[in-house]
Structure 1
C-alpha cells in the first residue's frame, strides 16, 4: 500500500480579485488555484449598480448562488428567454450548460456567494457573444 499525503484543511480570506471572462471582478476564494480544491470553486461577487455580465455558460458544471445583499436580475435559457428576479436571501441553482446573463439594473450593489462544481476559477466559462444583444 502506497503512502499518500494526508488531506489538508485550508483557510483564506478573500483579498485579491481577478477579472472573470464574464465581465465581472471576483474576490479570490476556494479554487484549485488558491487551495488545491479538487471538485469545487467558491468565491464572492459584487455586482455594482448598472453592472452586467456577458452571456455565458459553464460547460459541464453546476452553479449555486446565495444572494447576501441587494437585488439583481438573471436572464437564462437557450435564447435568454427567461428572466429571474433575485434578492438577498435567495438561493439560485444553474444547471450545467445553461446560458445565462446576470445584471444589476438597481441603484445598490448586489453581493453573492457563488459555488461551482468546477475547481478552476474560470476554466469552464464559455462566452456566448451571439446572445448578448438579446438582453436590453
Structure 2
C-alpha cells in the first residue's frame, strides 16, 4: 500500500458544485487526488427535474458511469438512449455526450474517470 491511506467519507459531507454550463446539474468529487487516489476520480452527479448537461466531449478521457436513481436521456454520439437506476454506461474518449432529466424525480449517477493531466472538455452546444 505504500504511503497511501484508505479513505471513507459520507457523500453528504462533500460539497455539491454546479456543473459548468449545466442547468440544475451538480457534481461532487467523492474521491480524488486530494484524497491520495493515484489513478481514478470518483464523482457523483445529480440532475434535478428539468436538469441538463449540454453536449460535450473529452478527447482523451473515457467515462464509466452507474445510475443510482432516476431515469434520464443520455446522448452518445448521434444516438439518444434512456437509462435508469441500475444501468451502467461506458463512454469512450472523444465521444460526444449529453444528459437530460425530463422526469419528475432527481437523477443521481456515479462517474469514474482516470486521473490525468490532459483533462479537457470541448463544449459542442449550450
TM-score range for the pair, normalised by the shorter chain length:
0.7 to 0.9
State whether residues 19 and 53 of structure 2, in contact with CA within 8 Å, keep that contact through their aligned partners in structure 1.
Answer: no
Structure 1 counterpart SS, 2:51? coil
Match of 2:60 in 1: 60
State whether residues 45 and 108 of structure 2, in contact with CA within 8 Å, keep that contact through their aligned partners in structure 1.
Answer: yes
| TM-score using structure 2 length | 0.83
The within-5 A match list for 1:1-136 is: 6-14=3-11, 15=13, 16-23=15-22, 24-32=25-33, 34-77=34-77, 81-118=78-115, 124-129=119-124, 131-132=125-126
CA distance in 2, matches of 1:124, 1:75: 21
Structure 2 counterpart SS, 1:38? coil
CA distance in 1, matches of 2:4, 2:115: 19
Unaligned runs of 5+ in 2: none
State whether residues 40 and 117 of structure 1, in contact with CA within 8 Å, keep that contact through their aligned partners in structure 2.
Answer: yes
CA distance in 2, matches of 1:58, 1:21: 14
Higher percent of residues as strand: 2
Kindly tell me the number of residue pairs found equivalent between the two proteins: 121
CA distance in 2, matches of 1:119, 1:70: 30
| TM-score using structure 1 length | 0.78
